[in-house]
């Protein structure tokens, strides 16, 4: 099945450091989404991007929708221990049935060392 290329696969960082991860695709998307998943729970939406070039922030998180519409990145500034988890990007596609479906990246596993 189709999946997005997400990198890095995992990262260990020190508390207080900034984090950057990105997602690329061979397909064009009209919407990019970034989710975080904590252990034993479902993904929770962090940021949604609706327009090429859009830069959106949510607290210490900043994400951008690439100009080509084939990529997106997520930055986390001044990481804290509770940032630990798996981060997923997702691209939104229309369907013939009139709703949207979502293609997910393979995830970036983040571990923060206190």
Partner 1 sequence: NAGVTQTPKFQVLKTGQSMTLQCAQDMNHNSMYWYRQDPGMGLRLIYYSASEGTTDKGEVPNGYNVSRLNKREFSLRLESAAPSQTSVYFCASSEFGVPRYSRDQPQHFGDGTRLSIL
CB of 45: closest distance to partner 1 in angstroms?
Answer: 5
The yes or no reply on residue 48 touching partner 1 (CB under 8 A) is yes
CB of 50: closest distance to partner 1 in angstroms?
Answer: 5
Length of the chain as a residue count: 114
CB of 16: closest distance to partner 1 in angstroms?
Answer: 28
The distance of Cα 53 from the centroid of its chain, to the nearest Å, equals 15
Given the rule CB under 8 A, which of 14-22, 58-66, 67-75, 105-113 is the region that contacts partner 1? 105-113
The residues that bridge with 112 in the sheet, in sequence order, are 13
* Rounded Cα distance, 114 and 95, in Å: 44
């Amino acid at each position: 099945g189709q999946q997005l290329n997400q990198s890095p696969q995992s990262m260990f960082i020190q508390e207080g450091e900034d984090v950057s991860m990105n997602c690329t695709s061979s397909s064009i998307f009209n919407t990019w989404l970034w989710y975080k998943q904590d252990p034993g729970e479902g993904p929770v939406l962090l940021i949604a991007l609706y327009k090429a070039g859009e830069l959106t922030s949510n607290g210490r998180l900043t994400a951008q929708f690439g100009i080509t519409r084939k990529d997106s990145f997520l930055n986390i500034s001044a990481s804290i221990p509770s940032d630990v988890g798996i981060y997923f990007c997702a691209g939104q596609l229309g369907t013939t049935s009139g709703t949207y479906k979502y293609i997910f990246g393979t995830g970036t596993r983040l571990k923060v060392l206190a």
